[in-house]
Structure 1
């Protein structure tokens, strides 16, 4: 049996007629840049996030960068974030000419540890970026309390967590802004790049809208330095087809995660730590990520059996060569570094079949036996 990490083909076969119809609407309208489909998706995602504003941008990386600039982050500022995340999080901070400041993670959720944040704050700190990794939101209450105490912006990196909840609150509802990615592999993915900022801060949102069109308002009048980063009309049309399905897809992911957890815990609990959904959170399982013994050996064995897995993330950002000048060294963030050698993600997508999961579980058990 061959089992991919993600298979978008079945999803497309179900949505194909509607997707092609929407694309025809775009081409027939000849509105290719910031047209009606972008506006509709901005409104729909903002409403889902319980925010007043949605700003469609070119990709999830730009969403973070533009949100930071719109919040006033600039050269000489510091932004506190996690080292256990995709490069885009810290890359956006550096592109804003600010300094990433890395703190360690909660070993249970893999998310930023709020108890480590306050010690990292200096007079240069301007913002905090919690990353809602693998589909579960970070512990937002203490993060927001710290931000309020020190007058800091909070920009949520929710590229992996659209539709997740924290104590009944949505991504973006509590913070200065939150950012999404519509990269094809995401829970709500386009068929190319795309991203969005959501925010209840009208001033920040207006700045973001200006920044995404070269910093111009009105057109051809430039008071700030911006970028060409707009959500494409065709990608917005595709996302609009998928939005009504997101809730059911999230529930399918949660069912698959529960099945993995039950079967793995019953069979090989001594070798594996399964994901934990913290009380009062709604985990959307963008990834189903284990902590495992002999991680690299297990991954190689599963590959031999036709099972795709992924390691998110093998090299923490604080040890990446591009950030060498920041002065971090191995041992500075022990929980992050431990996760980097133990984390392994199994196949996870809404259309995953029970027999596929059974095969994955069987081969994991075989390895440890």
Structure 2
């Protein structure tokens, strides 16, 4: 890699990413503690996250070391491989907690839906970059199939959260590129029909129950509403300044479920309070702003669309997860980037940021 490229590196994005990752590791260290008679007993989640972070760092460096325009040629093969892996999940997949989402590789479990996000992002960017004008019906449906096919396979696992995220990434990129007026108006009018189809045909009973629980979590406080209510109790008990690092009780006394993944930020809120949560939201805002500024500075349309896809990837997860833990959105199983535990997700996060840094470094090397 040309050393001159490092002078154009987006150092603010790199700093935000590093801070978020180590805040997440520290939070997992606290979340992994269980109170026993002898004191606190710690599990190995934070250690595993550090290992996954090192793997992700390697993938990020690899993603920075080649001209990102080569991704255009790899988009179709990568998308086909990911769809093939999704087709294999029902056949040889590993079932856990009632969902069949992983393929066992012996030394680890691979979740194909994670690299699928990257594949949809890359292929959508390639197709949209070929069109200088707003999309008409033909081109719109072509792009739509890129996301709908893997989304349908992901919903079968079932994984409503990841399937929704794939559509949000693709939808954000399409809106950024632009739609013809009549296409946009028709899509807006079709929203109620799509919502009805999702409710009566696509969604499972427990997923519909999550929506109803979101509207009234107190209706089933020991069942479907338990997650949201315990999350609200944990965050509220942190008050202004929090209880202090490793001093939270909701997780350590096992009241708070999924404290390592979906509700990791509830542990953070209990221990660092309102001030800590504001600081975390500010850090995420700077992180997103840095990504978006890279998209605006990119010298070709393909690079700009790639980075916009990464922006919507992170933006959607941050908004949905934080809205979920404070009861503003239904529980859909979407983790918070860098804060929640997850091996495949961590590697994908670092890889996507490697692509953003790649675009940033090369913004003065050629004209698009």
Structure 2 length-normalised TM:
0.31
Q: Greater RCO between the two (CA within 8 Å, min separation 6)? A: 2
Which structure has more strand as a fraction of its residues?
A: 1
Which structure has more helix as a fraction of its residues?
A: 2
Structure 1 length-normalised TM:
0.31
